[in-house]
Amino acid sequence: MERTFVMVKPDGVQRGVIGEIVSRFEKKGFQLVASKLMVIPREKAEFHYAEHASKPFFGELVDFITSGPVFAMIWEADQVVPLSRTLIGKTNTLEALPGTIRGDFAVHTNFNLIHGSDSPESAEREINNFFEPHELVTYDKAIKPWI
Ligand code: RTP
Ligand code: MG
């Protein structure tokens, strides 16, 4: 079973779309493994976006992602990494289709509401960067008779 790291960025928290985003991931059928509201320490943000360290927008990207709380999550499902990227929509806001999270809610590429890991390898590195092992909860939804 695959896992991915997803976070509602500071603009999404400020705009009040945590619930909307969690709802879309839940309804898709992914299983929540961990979640928390946190302000990212600068060194963790720089590690998270290390692949962009040489880009001209790196400083602003780190400033933005550390500017307020993010809602960090781990989700699990078969192929959850590419499926999450499909729900999230394209990075470039002009290419993010209606029906995707960015397509429905974002107007600017630099303030695009949500992050999702781009590969299983990135997901493992990002999960380890943001969560301690004891914060992950494993459980079986299928056998509960509540609904
Ligand atoms: P993210 O990592 O934040 O989930 O976004 P992503 O995979 O869709 O896009 P990525 O290429 O990893 O870029 C990370 C973030 O940097 C900003 N960006 N700005 N000005 C630009 O050309 C540019 N390109 C990327 C975006 O905010 C993007 O989410
Ligand atoms: Mg990325």
Superfamily name with CATH number, domain 2-134: Nucleoside diphosphate kinase-like domain (3.30.70.141)
Q: What is the mean pLDDT of residues 81-86?
A: 98
pLDDT of residue 147: 61
Residue 143 pLDDT level (bands cut at 50, 70, 90):
confident
Question: Is 15 annotated among the ligand-binding residues?
Answer: no
Ligand 1 center to residue 109 CA distance, Å? Answer: 7
Residue 144: what pLDDT?
73
Decide if the complex's ipTM is over 0.90: yes
Starting at the earlier edge strand, list the strands of the sheet with 31-38: 31-38, 70-77, 2-8, 114-116
Each residue's pLDDT tens digit, 35-46:
999 999 999 999
Q: Transcribe the chain into DSSP letters.
A: -EEEEEEE-HHHHHHT-HHHHHHHHHHHT-EEEEEEEEPPPHHHHHHHTGGGTTSTTHHHHHHHHTSS-EEEEEEEETTHHHHHHHHH--SSGGG--BTBHHHHH--BTTB-SEEE-SSHHHHHHHHHHH--GGG-----STT----
**Alpha-carbon span 117 to 126, nearest angstrom:** 8
List, for residues 5-23, the tens digit of each pLDDT value: 999 999 999 999 999 999 9
Residue 24 annotated as part of some ligand binding site: no
Residues with CB under 6 A from ligand 1: 52, 57, 61, 91, 109-110, 112, 115-116, 118
Every domain of the chain and the residues it spans: 2-134
Helix, coil or strand: residue 99:
coil
Q: Which atom of ligand 1 is nearest to the CA of 110?
A: 27
Q: Which residue among 48, 52, 115, 134 is the active-site one?
A: 115
Residue 92 has pLDDT above 90, yes or no: yes
Q: Which helix (H) or strand (E) holds 96?
A: none
pLDDT > 80? residue 28: yes
Let me know: does 93 contact 107? Beta carbons within 8 Å: yes
- What's the pLDDT score for residue 141? 80
Average of per-residue pLDDT across 67-89: 98
Please tell me the predicted confidence (pLDDT) of residue 81.
Answer: 98
Write the burial class of residue 102 (CB in 10 Å: 0-12 exposed, 13-18 middle, 19+ buried). buried
**What mean pLDDT is reported for the chain?**
96
Task: Check if 115 is active-site.
Answer: yes
User: Above 90 in pLDDT, residue 146?
Assistant: no
